[in-house]
Amino acid sequence: MKIGIIGSGTMGSGIAQVAATAGCKVKLYDTNQFALDKAKAALEKILSRLIEKDRIDADEKSRIQNNISYVNDLKYLSDSDLTIEAIVENLDIKKKVFSELETYVSEKCIIASNTSSLSIASIAASLKKPERCIGIHFFNPAPLMRLVEVIPAIQTSKEVLEKSTRIISDWKKVVAVAKDTPGFIVNRVARPFYGEALRIYEEGIADFATIDESLKTLGGFRMGPFELMDFIGNDVNYTVTETVFTAFYFDPRYKPAFTQKRFAEAGYLGRKSGKGYYDYDKNGGIIIPERDYYREKDSHDKKLTQQIFDRVLVMLINEAADALFMNIASAEDIDNAMTKGVNYPKGLLAWANEKGIDWCVSKMDELYDEYREDRYRCSPLLRRMKTNGLRFEV
Ligand code: NAI
């Protein structure tokens, strides 16, 4: 199988590694020679480290390296069976590249985009054969994250969806098929993890560290929301939230928080700038502040951390249930997306079953009664399931 990758940055180089490891012949294209050289050097380093860890041997390393060629002209991608574009997130630039690419590749070539936030329909519209276009959305770092969201546009043919799904599964990835809607699955369902944590902070209920601690200790999340926002970068995470909010015609469920906007404006981007919600040492290590009022043994604090955890969790469950209600993906794919794409300790719909659908509905109704904001509306699916005594099939 011949694969063309457009853009050799963070995502493109990672996807090239995945495809080459799976035995495909890859051509990695970028307009910037420096980016190509950087990708080549980075792969050399990654593969050498894998040898040190005894994960691959020297033969495997050269096999993977020999499977990738680095090219600086789009024309070289002409014999591709599948191309995946991972260039700058700009619709006009992507459209230009796609329509040029279509003049080189064969009729049968699938043309995919790794976009996080643009609609696949809008990108497909730049092609003469839009039915060959599809979204293939990897997570960062692509070689490590098991999930890939596959997003057919309304123009995409059934064959292209089936073939893409098969190829990505052959690359040993877990495929979740998502509707072409803002944020697909992960970037939509994960919004309350950040948004509700920020809201709890803004209301003065608890500080960053207390909120993080409650999600980690009670929920088993690897990082709390503030640690994670610092890790992703407050600029990047804020932009995703704002994009999703705008794309959903300002649904208050996705409303961005001023706290994060100010942090981004101030340059408190997180780990990469040495300061975010936390401070970071020279090696990027987090400096967790002494908390004056979070004490594990104190029963008031235990009650507080439980409240924080329940509130964030139920908002996540409600979002996952609503994604199912709106047919964004199957229940299984929604749960897989969160466990394999962002390492959640459990699938949210399985978590809803565990907590009880009654519990979910009454927690949402409590929040709605208290705030009277549309943000806290319970998904009709949860309410319907409660009435009929149903559980999610996951
Ligand atoms: P990046 O900035 O690391 O790399 C982009 C590369 O594209 C650069 O090397 C640049 O030289 C090249 N490029 C720009 N315009 C080009 C053109 N016209 N022709 C050829 N090459 C061109 O970007 P990153 O982070 O890899 O993102 C790429 C895409 O992947 C975006 O659509 C982004 O939304 C998406 N994405 C990013 C994720 C992330 O965590 N960084 C996760 C999932 C998707």
**At 352, which CATH number?**
1.10.1040.50
How remote is the CA of residue 174 from the centroid of ligand 1, in Å? 22
- Reply yes or no on whether 102 is catalytic: no
- Token readout for 328 is 């964004």
pLDDT 10s digits, 95-111: 999 999 999 999 999 99
d(Cα 8, Cα 148) in Å, to the nearest integer? Answer: 18
The verdict on 192 and 165 lying in the same domain is no
Considering 177, 197, 215, which residue would you say is the last residue of a domain?
A: 177
Mean pLDDT of 81-92: 96
Residue 183 lies in a domain: no
Mean pLDDT of 127-145: 97
The verdict on 194 and 340 lying in the same domain is yes
**Lowest-pLDDT range, 120-134, 278-292, 321-335?**
278-292
Q: What pLDDT is attached to residue 289?
A: 75
> Considering the entire predicted model, what is its pTM?
0.94
Q: Containing domain of residue 241, as a range?
A: 188-388
Which residues lie below 8 Å from residue 86, measured CB to CB, with a gap of 6+?
A: 5, 6, 7, 9, 11, 12, 15, 114
The verdict on 128 and 252 lying in the same domain is no
- Token readout for 212 is 């993080």
d(Cα 182, Cα 151) in Å, to the nearest integer? Answer: 11
How remote is the CA of residue 87 from the centroid of ligand 1, in Å? 3
d(Cα 244, Cα 170) in Å, to the nearest integer? Answer: 31
- Token readout for 362 is 């009454």
Residue of minimum CA distance from atom 29 in ligand 1: 86
d(Cα 156, Cα 135) in Å, to the nearest integer? Answer: 10
Per cent of the chain over pLDDT 90 is: 95
The verdict on 78 and 97 lying in the same domain is yes
pLDDT 10s digits, 311-349: 999 999 999 999 999 999 999 999 999 999 999 999 999
Longest Cα–Cα distance of the chain, Å, equals 68
Q: What pLDDT is attached to residue 158?
A: 98
Residue 383 lies in a domain: yes
The verdict on 158 and 199 lying in the same domain is no
Other C-beta atoms lying within 10 Å of the C-beta of residue 41: 10
The verdict on 70 and 216 lying in the same domain is no
Q: What pLDDT is attached to residue 212?
A: 97
d(Cα 17, Cα 187) in Å, to the nearest integer? Answer: 24
pLDDT 10s digits, 146-189: 999 999 999 999 999 999 999 999 999 999 999 999 999 999 99
With a 6 A CB cut-off, is 187 part of the ligand 1 pocket? Answer: no
Q: Side-chain half-sphere of 75: how many Cα atoms within 13 Å?
A: 1
Q: What atom in ligand 1 is closest to the CA of residue 94?
A: 18
How remote is the CA of residue 177 from the centroid of ligand 1, in Å? 22
CA 186 vs CA 48, 93, 98, 337: distances in Å: 32, 25, 25, 6
With a 6 A CB cut-off, is 39 part of the ligand 1 pocket? Answer: no
The verdict on 24 and 161 lying in the same domain is yes
- Token readout for 347 is 């699938």
What value does the mean pLDDT of the chain take? Answer: 96
Predicted confidence (pLDDT) at residue 381 exceeds the cutoff of 70: yes
The catalytic position among 126, 164, 187, 353 is 187
The catalytic position among 67, 80, 119, 149 is 149
d(Cα 383, Cα 365) in Å, to the nearest integer? Answer: 10
Residue of minimum CA distance from atom 2 in ligand 1: 9
pLDDT 10s digits, 195-223: 999 999 999 999 999 999 999 999 999 99
Say if residue 141 is preceded by a cis peptide, omega within 30 of 0.
Answer: yes
Q: Which of 8, 18, 87, 126 to mutate to test the pocket of ligand 1 (most atoms within 8 A of CB)?
A: 87
The verdict on 288 and 368 lying in the same domain is yes
Predicted confidence (pLDDT) at residue 296 exceeds the cutoff of 90: no
Residue 182 lies in a domain: no
pLDDT 10s digits, 15-73: 999 999 999 999 999 999 999 999 999 999 999 999 999 999 999 999 999 999 999 99
CATH number at residue 148: 3.40.50.720
**SS3 helix, strand, coil % of the chain, rounded to 5?**
55, 10, 35
The verdict on 134 and 25 lying in the same domain is yes
Predicted confidence (pLDDT) at residue 293 exceeds the cutoff of 80: no
Q: What pLDDT is attached to residue 301?
A: 84
With a 6 A CB cut-off, is 88 part of the ligand 1 pocket? Answer: yes
With a 6 A CB cut-off, is 312 part of the ligand 1 pocket? Answer: no
CA 136 vs CA 96, 111, 174, 394: distances in Å: 19, 10, 12, 24
With bands split at pLDDT 50, 70 and 90, how would you rate the model's confidence at 298? low
Other C-beta atoms lying within 10 Å of the C-beta of residue 284: 11
Residue 394 lies in a domain: no
Bridge partners (DSSP) listed for residue 175? 148
Q: What pLDDT is attached to residue 355?
A: 98
Q: What is the dihedral of CA 248, 250, 252, 253, to 10 degrees?
A: 20
How remote is the CA of residue 104 from the centroid of ligand 1, in Å? 21
Residue 328 lies in a domain: yes
- Token readout for 226 is 């503030």
d(Cα 38, Cα 9) in Å, to the nearest integer? Answer: 9
With a 6 A CB cut-off, is 28 part of the ligand 1 pocket? Answer: no
Residue 393 lies in a domain: no
How remote is the CA of residue 9 from the centroid of ligand 1, in Å? 5
The verdict on 123 and 270 lying in the same domain is no
The verdict on 128 and 206 lying in the same domain is no
With bands split at pLDDT 50, 70 and 90, how would you rate the model's confidence at 284? confident
Residue 246 lies in a domain: yes
- Reply yes or no on whether 187 is catalytic: yes
Considering 146, 177, 208, which residue would you say is the last residue of a domain?
A: 177
- Reply yes or no on whether 52 is catalytic: no
Considering 144, 177, 210, which residue would you say is the last residue of a domain?
A: 177
Total domains in the fold of the chain: 2
The verdict on 159 and 300 lying in the same domain is no
